Structure 1
Amino acid sequence: MEPDKPLRVRETRHGKTFTLAPHSVIYEQGSESDAVYLIQEGRVELLRSNQQDSVGVGILEKGGILGEMGVLRGVPRSTTARALTEVSLHMVTRERFLKSLDSVSSLTLPVLRTLTERLHEANGTLARMQPFGRGVALKHVRTITILPGSSLTQWRLGVHGFEVEHLPYIVGRASDGLPARLSEGGMTIETDETDPLEEEHFGLFELNGRLVIHDLGSDGGTTVNGETVSRGAYAGTAGLINGDNEVAAGPGSSPYRFIIRVT
């Protein structure tokens, strides 16, 4: 099954490359595992549904692989994959993907199948535990305001902060001589390269209809309401709650602290 309504399609020697608009469905939970996808640009969210609800189980970025577990295990898709931003995906059919693995070694495929079984069990555990909450439903959100949470960010942003009007919204570092630069898609703050705020540090996203904050692979992680989210910690995503959320780029003591007010 090919992704829904691609903006562009390009044929290559090894498969097809698709460009998809935000919120496009790449594949649905329960569908046939007939292809593997490599993320060339953009971000993709993974959702797992049960009888009552859908749960966000992860966000994958450039360089990530989608759909390989179902193909290797020979079972239907265990999640729904949906474009979080505009994405470019390279699709490799099941047959070509398995053939490429078999050509490496007769032992490769059984080993990979064993590893993906273990990953499948681990993903199920993570989905059940949901350590950092699911986030407030966006349909109940009227405004999202980013306010300074430290003297340094107050000097950069001003006392009153500003409203976020579009998601996703990325916060990061710049070195262009301006204290802060604001746009529809994000905000950059002037820093030294040694500071904990990185070029693309964290972002506000819609995940399964809820408002979440996602660390974008920073070295120091992002602290959200006292908990650290990062690729190296338990999870890289945290739900935001109604009211004031304390967010820091890096540890809680970082000078780059913000209040994200959700009303």
Structure 2
Amino acid sequence: MELKTFEKGDVIIEKGSYGTSAYVIKSGKVEVVDITNNKVVLAILGEGQIFGEMGLVDDQPRSATVTALEDVQLAVLNRDNFNQLFEKDPKVLLPIIKALFERLRTINSMLVSKEGSDTVKAGVNKRVHGSEFITLSGLNVISSDVLDNREMKINKFPFKVGRKHELDEVDVLSDNDLYLQDLPPFNVSRNHFLIDKVEGRYVVVDRGSRLGTIVNGKRIDVQSVLDMGENEIIVGQKVSPFVFKIEIRC
């Protein structure tokens, strides 16, 4: 795993950003806070503890901000590392799996306590109401073939796109709604990009792909807000055969 160092006061993870890595603290301490309204300290973590683990398994925005309380050294575990360790030495992943289950247990408790509340109902309504809808279609023969030469209406968010597995390939974290059959050298990563609706806007998020995602002619750093009407997305580098049109209609 790659080692990274951060100085006291550095923001390691920012709430609302996207990422696909987890961090194991080798030395130092970090503060996990929720800054939605007033600053609320969720945890102080130290040597041997893990944060950011949900980024390994889902593609949702980060739920909290993590800041270095002192100089820290972190081991960075990304999805590719996770897959390799799963195949070669699964026991190394036990602390991370434990952290994931602890996080899920906490979330489950929160959901039970808020069941039926106005806050939850309002959040659900916000995601399903609205007159606009979004479609995906191919802009060349290869991309059209992926969609059986038809236009796909996207009803589920986030909508995830990635590379189809080879027969002998093991990928414990692949999670996609649309799989693209690519050939070496690959343009498409296993978990490449997603389309989501965030605060009433449609966005494309690169999921840490190797060659990136191009939206309307520009390679995106992490995410890009889609325009009303037609948008072009290239999966991988500019010469990639996978070119799609994403259209937002009212």
TM-score, length of structure 1 as denominator length: 0.49
**More deviation, 191-200/213-222:** 191-200
Note if contact 2:34-2:42 (Cα within 8 Å) is conserved in structure 1: no
1:153 Cα deviation from its structure 2 partner? 0.8
1:261 Cα deviation from its structure 2 partner? 1.1
Aligned residue-pair number: 152
User: In 2, distance between residues paired with 1:199 and 1:68?
Assistant: 30
**More deviation, 188-197/237-246:** 188-197
Per the alignment, residue 105 of structure 1 pairs with none
Match of 1:68, SS state, is strand
What amino acid sits opposite 2:237 in the alignment? P
Distance 1:44 1:155, change over 3 A: closer
What amino acid sits opposite 2:137 in the alignment? L
Residue 186 (structure 2) pairs with residue 195 (structure 1)? yes
What amino acid sits opposite 1:204 in the alignment? I
Match of 1:152, SS state, is helix
- 1:176-209 CA distance string (max 9 Å, x none): 68xxxxxx96100222242201111100112233
Distance 1:203 1:195, change over 3 A: same
User: In 2, distance between residues paired with 1:154 and 1:248?
Assistant: 13
1:68 Cα deviation from its structure 2 partner? 2.3
Per the alignment, residue 161 of structure 1 pairs with 151
Per the alignment, residue 170 of structure 2 pairs with none
Q: Name the Cα RMSD after superposition.
A: 3.4
Note if contact 1:245-1:260 (Cα within 8 Å) is conserved in structure 2: yes
Match of 2:53, SS state, is strand
Note if contact 1:169-1:185 (Cα within 8 Å) is conserved in structure 2: yes
* Greater fraction helix: 2
Note if contact 1:141-1:262 (Cα within 8 Å) is conserved in structure 2: no
What are the ranges of 5 or more consecutive residues in structure 2 without an aligned counterpart? 1-32, 45-49, 71-98, 104-126, 168-174
Per the alignment, residue 247 of structure 2 pairs with 261
Identity of aligned residues (%): 21
Note if contact 1:196-1:249 (Cα within 8 Å) is conserved in structure 2: yes
Residue 36 (structure 2) pairs with residue 35 (structure 1)? no
- 1:4-15 alignment runs, 5 A limit: none
1:157 Cα deviation from its structure 2 partner? 1.5
Per the alignment, residue 152 of structure 1 pairs with 142
What amino acid sits opposite 1:30 in the alignment? N
User: In 1, distance between residues paired with 2:247 and 2:133?
Assistant: 8
Residue 203 (structure 2) pairs with residue 212 (structure 1)? yes
- 1:102-158 CA distance string (max 9 Å, x none): xxxxxxxxxxxxxxxxxxxxxxxxxxxxxxxxxxx9855532111001221112223
Note if contact 1:201-1:215 (Cα within 8 Å) is conserved in structure 2: yes
1:169 Cα deviation from its structure 2 partner? 0.7
- 1:216-253 CA distance string (max 9 Å, x none): 11111100001101xxxxx3100011111100111333
Note if contact 1:38-1:66 (Cα within 8 Å) is conserved in structure 2: no
What amino acid sits opposite 1:253 in the alignment? V
1:161 Cα deviation from its structure 2 partner? 2.4
Per the alignment, residue 97 of structure 1 pairs with none
User: In 1, distance between residues paired with 2:176 and 2:42?
Assistant: 34
What amino acid sits opposite 2:247 in the alignment? R
Match of 2:143, SS state, is helix
TM-score, length of structure 2 as denominator length: 0.51
Residue 227 (structure 2) pairs with residue 241 (structure 1)? yes
What are the ranges of 5 or more consecutive residues in structure 1 without an aligned counterpart? 1-24, 46-58, 73-86, 92-136, 178-183, 230-234
Note if contact 1:39-1:88 (Cα within 8 Å) is conserved in structure 2: no
Per the alignment, residue 228 of structure 1 pairs with 219
- 1:78-227 alignment runs, 5 A limit: 88=100, 140-175=130-165, 186-227=177-218
User: In 2, distance between residues paired with 1:228 and 1:141?
Assistant: 29
Distance 1:157 1:224, change over 3 A: same
1:27 Cα deviation from its structure 2 partner? 5.9
